[in-house]
Amino acid sequence: MSEPDAKNKCTEVRDQLAMHLYGELSFDEEEIVETHLDTCAECRGALDRQRELHAAFDRVEVEPPPSLLRECRAALGAQLASSPASTVNEPSRDIQVNSWWDKLVRLVTGFGPSGTWLRPAGALTLFAIGFAAARFTPVMSTGSNGVGIMGLADMSAAHVRDVEPGSDGSVRIVVDETRQKVISGGLEDQQIRAMLLAAARDSTDPGVRAATVELLTAEAAAGDVRDVLIDRLRHDQNAGVRLKAMEGLKQFAKDTAVRKAFAQVLLSDGNPGVRTQAIDLLTQGAGPAVDQDLVGPFQELMMKEDNPYVRERCQSVLASWNASSEIY
Amino acid sequence: VEKPSIEVLQRSVVALNPGAELDESALIRAAQNGDEDAFARLVRAYDQSVLRLAMNLLRSPEDARDVYQEAFLRVYRNLHNFRFDCSFHTWLYRIVTNLCLDQLRKRKVRKEESSVVGTPEGPLDRMDTVQQEGVEGNPQRRLFSGELRSRIKEVLEQLTPRERMVFELRHYDGLRLRNIGEVLGTTEEAAKNCLFRATQKMRAALGDFV
């Protein structure tokens, strides 16, 4: 075979290597590739590199977190409860809705019967499910007396948590409501505060988390609020929420825990806007004095930062400290 | 090591438990007749793989959650139309892949609208700048862990929605091209051409890393 022919054959075979690894070549194509690989060391090398590439593809596969699956299942249960059925004609839609909600959530979440699945999760889970349900259920009339004025339709969307016989022959029913309900009060109200702290962490809606974090900013002097803001800055999947948490923590930039969180996001946050804000907040009001604790993290950032703007900002801070941009 | 395809896994399950295939048909029929437990079991049998596919394609928990909800709601509303002329898996994946393709196409439109910026030298596509930075970057920096991963993510974003879908179904879900063609309503040959283009683009963009 002439040299150009051999080169063409190599190109032709290399184009097919990915399909070869997937086992998707026809018999004839496979035959051509394998025959050539037997005689061409360079193409065997190319096959090894293609294998490495496939292994690298495997490493970017995302496994959804179990919490996301649980949220999806709970929200689906709520959505089906408010969705018209296609399969059967039930005489009483209210009864069917109640049954759907209970059975589906129980089956898909794998928790036990009779409300036991709600107990260990406590108020936070109940709140999260409330949010999910609120997204999909139509707004129902609410009243300050709660269950006492609920109609049959309202009752069907609720979950009986406990039943106790009273001594006078009456029955006491504890109901976990999954319908929309409006609660209002100031940030100093312990119930409001507890719900906001839970919503900032657990709401499935990033818009709700962002609004909650923004509200909590006014109370960032309190330790429990600041802990939640730090947690959101470190762990929230939404960059907008992380930026709002950062804004809330701005006034406490000298606090050790807050500073540590800023340094962490500086090195690990995937969003360049958040990293830039971390640079600003870590260096705000510092003047020309060198902050020895920060030189290391800034140098480390220079080593791995891809974004040209963030690199430039980082470099300029290091220059103002007369520190090198590299680690030797 | 190549992952076994869904079909191989399904065959293995049936081999271990001969009643498994029968059970699924029975479950579907029961769900069609209004058996709520049967429907919930069907959801549970497939929802993890649906969420994983949506999450890998869309790389956003919010969007993956929306696809999950909408897909199973459509299954619920249309299950009475399922006539067993394909597997339930194929039918479900048709719904899921259509929803994901819609999302990917919307994103492409948004990206195309927003990536072109005006400059004194004329319009400039920010996506081109990103590509150039990748090629001209300091080779030493490629050694940092995560560099290849982030580059792969970028390249996946640059594939067309159909190429992305076929690659995702073949590489991560392990579906054979014949089955992918069935899911996407096209021929095995068209799916093969699509996978070929996707792998060629990725080899061209990532060949220097391996």
Q: Of A308, A57, A51, A58, give the one whose Cα is nearest residue B141.
A: A308
Q: Check whether A21 has a pLDDT greater than 90.
A: yes
Task: With a cut of 70, say whether residue B129 has pLDDT above it.
Answer: no
Report the residue from A103, A237, A306 with minimal CB separation from B40.
A103
Contact flag A53-B206 (C-beta cutoff 8 Å): yes
**Per residue in A183-222, pLDDT tens?**
778 888 888 888 888 888 877 777 778 888 888 888 888 8
Phi/psi for A164 (5° steps) reads -130, 130
Q: What's the token pair of residue B113? A: 């609208």
Within 10 angstroms of residue A261's Cβ, the number of other Cβ atoms is: 22
When mean pLDDT is compared across A115-129, A228-242, B107-121, the lowest value belongs to A115-129
Out of B40, B152, B196, the one facing A57 most closely (by C-beta) is B152
CB spacing of B203 vs A53 below 8 angstroms:
yes
CB contact under 8 A, B52 and A237: no
The DSSP bridge partners found for residue A175 are: A160
For residue B46, what pLDDT band results from cuts at 50, 70 and 90? very high
B84 inside 8 A of chain A by CB: no
pLDDT for the residue numbered A126: 32
Give the distance from residue A265's alpha carbon to the nearest chain B alpha carbon, in angstroms. Answer: 16
CA–CA separation, A14 and B203 (whole Å): 10
DSSP string, A79-111: HHHTS--SS---S-HHHHHHHHHHHHHHHHH--
The DSSP output letter for B141 is: G
Residue among B47, B55, B195 minimizing CB distance to A19: B195
Q: Is the pLDDT of residue B202 over 70?
A: yes
Q: What is the pLDDT of residues B133-163, one digit of tens each?
A: 333 444 444 444 477 888 898 899 999 999 9
Mean pLDDT of chain A: 73
Lowest mean pLDDT, pick from A125-134, A226-235, B23-32, B108-117: A125-134
> Does A224 have pLDDT greater than 50?
yes
Is the pLDDT at A51 greater than 70, yes or no?
yes
* Closest approach of A82 to chain B, Cα-based (Å): 11
Give residue B5's pLDDT: 52
pLDDT in tens, A55-99: 888 888 888 888 899 999 999 988 887 765 544 434 333 334 444
Residue A152 region by backbone torsions, left for phi larger than 0, else alpha for psi between -120 and 50, else beta: alpha
* B50 in A contact zone (CB under 8 Å): no
User: Cβ–Cβ of A100/B149 closer than 8 Å?
Assistant: no
CA distance A299 to A295: 6
Position A272 scores a pLDDT of 82
CB contact under 8 Å between B36 and A60, yes or no, is: no
Average of pLDDT values for B23-35? 89
Residue A164 has a pLDDT of: 65
Determine the average pLDDT of the residues in A244-267: 89
Considering only CA atoms, which of B166, B169, B175, B176 is closest in space to residue B196? Answer: B166
Say if B46 is an interface residue toward chain A (CB within 8 Å).
no
Bridge-based pairing state of the strands A171-176 and A159-165:
antiparallel
Poorest-pLDDT segment among A35-39, B12-16, B178-182, B185-189: B12-16
Exposed e or buried b for every residue in A274-306, given b needs 16+ CB within 10 A?
bbbbbbebbbeeeeeeebeebbebbbebbeebb
Of A49, A54, A76, the CB nearest to B72: A76
With CB atoms and an 8 Å threshold, state whether A19 touches B199. yes
Cα separation, A29 vs A14, whole angstroms: 12
- Asked if the Cβ–Cβ distance from B44 to A108 is below 8 Å, we say yes
* Structure confidence at residue B79 as a pLDDT band (50, 70, 90): very high
Question: What is the predicted pLDDT for the residue at B139?
Answer: 46
Q: How far is CA A268 from the centre of its chain?
A: 16
